[in-house]
A = this chain, B = another copy of it.
Amino acid sequence: MSKLAEFKAFYGRIEDLKQSSSLLSWDQNVYMPEGAHETRAQQLATLNSVIHELMTSNRMKDFLAALSKENFAEESDEGRLLARASRNVEQASKLPAEFVETLTLQRSRAVSTWLKARAQNNFKLFEEDLTKIFDLVRQQADYLGYDSHPYDALHDQYEMGSTVAELKPMFAELREETVKLLKVLGEAKQIDNGLMHQAYSIDRQREVSEDVARLIGYDFQHGRLDPTVHPFAQDISKYDVRITTKYMENWFASSFFGTIHEVGHALYEQGIADKYHRTPLGTAVSLGVHESQSRLYENMVGRSQSFWQGYYPSLQKHFPENLAEVSLADFYRAINKVEPSLIRIEADEVTYNMHILVRFELELALLEGNLKVADLPEAWNEKYQRYLGITPPNDAQGCLQDVHWSEGIIGYFPTYTLGNLMSVQLFEAAQRAYPNIVEDMKKGEFDNLLGWLRETIHQHGSKYTPAELVTKATGQALTAKPYIQYLNQKFKSVYGIQ
């Protein structure tokens, strides 16, 4: 066996353990009995510590040292595989064990304080623990290392290579243009989406979710769809990518668009090249690219006029009591209603990024020391008023709404907006390659779209950085312009504005 083959066998075992850990997480969120939380945490801690031991073992270091002498071409699969493995090992080695323990402890403390603070709508309760979290992640950034901004070190864990220096101007442009668009839309005739809030049979929602998942390409032979409270996609391996959705009787959009969103994530994982299975390249490259796939399917497909020209008759057949008398045009408008609101996860396509930008700017200010945790609620409310024209009536609906910060997850939020920006830039490139993609949707055909995404994005796993992937796929670096143009075009048309 060659040294490389030996290394792959060794690394493959680590991937097997990671896959096992993923299954434990999936189960924890879907079917685990309530009384098993403590033992599950213990099982996961042990699995992850075994993984960490193997990642930072001498055997690993010896392999990487020996293989670095074999001079694989940098751009070859082998070269990229070893580079990615080295990066993973380096990342795993950077944080001292005691620091990880302190952070883990503080996280679980902060989550429980946050739950209480949110329930009691009392930010003061959370202030001390959140301050500690920010102190710790500043230290974490130092351990991880960065060139120009500590935020880069944190953000890089979720979006390799992306930096504050790049995000700031791109997000500023997006913010200005979105605020402008929101003003225009706010002055137009508003949309009544009451038809979305009627009672839709849960059983038939389930049928429709499965149907649309299959239609757009989700492979049930290598996945499954289950109901949960908080929807997610979880890859165990590329051969077992599971999705969940939330069925709400009076808001069928929850299950429908939620399913399409998670299918977008799942198609990425299911499409990674077989040859990367059990290697460091066998996973999605970043959260931003992941989100680009889910948002592309949710919005460019699921909320498009063409898709519904094809699918609406079928939806009407499933819900005649709700939709028999509703025209396609009215339905299309209803699913695309824009309205500034307080809660991120309920936001529409236009306002969604404003929720992210508020968080990004506040994370930066907190990390830089330009904002004190004590002043966070006020800063939050001020930004919501400025960007969205509304002020949270309380902190539970304001800066206490997300779990991320209590979990020490800082630098993650921007990936949602990066995903949105990528989704349009990619979709337009796909249309250039296959000009019929939009027409195909009217006929319920999605093969060319999926084929193009497989070719340009999915198959590559972690071989390329997010920036390389986007540039290779679309011919240019990521910018906010296509997205801004898309929003303006689509929503001015939806709102009947010239």
Contacts and interface: CB of A to CB of B under 8 A. Distances in A.
Interface of A: 12-13, 16-17, 19-21, 23-24, 27, 31-36, 38-40, 42-43, 45-47, 49-50, 219-224, 236-237, 239-240, 242, 277-278
Nearest to A32: B240
Nearest to A17: B46
B219 A16 contact: no
Contacts of A31: 31, 224
A56 to B, nearest CB: 16
Interface centre among A23, A32, A237 (most CB of B within 10 A): A23
A256 to B, nearest CB: 22
B35 A239 contact: yes
Report copies per complex.
Answer: 2
Interface of A is mostly: helix
A137 B131 CA distance: 62
A224 B28 CA distance: 13
Contact of A23 (B23, B38, B220, B221): B23
Contact of A221 (B35, B222, B239, B240): B35
A19 B43 contact: yes
Given A33-B240, A222-B33, A237-B36, A20 B20 contact: yes
A221 B38 CA distance: 13
Contacts of A50: 13, 17, 50
A224 B36 CA distance: 11
A425 B223 CA distance: 47
A39 to B, nearest CB: 5
A47 B237 contact: no
B47 A16 contact: yes
Nearest to A270: B35
A19 B32 CA distance: 13
A219 B36 CA distance: 12
B224 A35 contact: no
Contact of A240 (B13, B36, B242): B36
Contacts of A242: 33
List the 6 closest pairs (A to B, CB-CB), nearest first: A16-B46, A36-B240, A35-B222, A35-B221, A39-B237, A16-B43
A236 to B, nearest CB: 7
A46 to B, nearest CB: 4
B239 A47 contact: no
Nearest to A26: B27
Nearest to A14: B46
B36 A236 contact: yes
A264 B152 CA distance: 56
Given A16-B47, A17-B46, A39-B240, 11 more contacts: A16-B43, A17-B50, A23-B27, A27-B27, A31-B224, A33-B221, A33-B224, A34-B221, A35-B239, A36-B240, A39-B277
A3 B39 CA distance: 23
B24 A39 contact: no
A210 to B, nearest CB: 13
Contacts of A12: 42, 46
A35 to B, nearest CB: 4
B43 A219 contact: no
A21 to B, nearest CB: 8
A214 to B, nearest CB: 13
A222 B27 contact: no
A338 B278 CA distance: 53
Contacts of A21: 20
Given A19-B39, A239-B38, A13 B46 contact: yes
B236 A39 contact: yes
A441 to B, nearest CB: 27
A243 to B, nearest CB: 11
B17 A219 contact: no
Nearest to A37: B239
Nearest to A241: B33
A210 B242 CA distance: 27
Contact of A33 (B16, B33, B43, B223): B223
Contacts of A17: 43, 46-47, 50
A221 B40 CA distance: 14
19 contacts: A13-B50, A16-B42, A17-B46, A17-B47, A19-B39, A19-B43, A20-B24, A23-B24, A23-B43, A27-B27, A31-B31, A33-B221, A33-B223, A33-B224, A34-B221, A35-B239, A35-B240, A38-B239, A39-B236
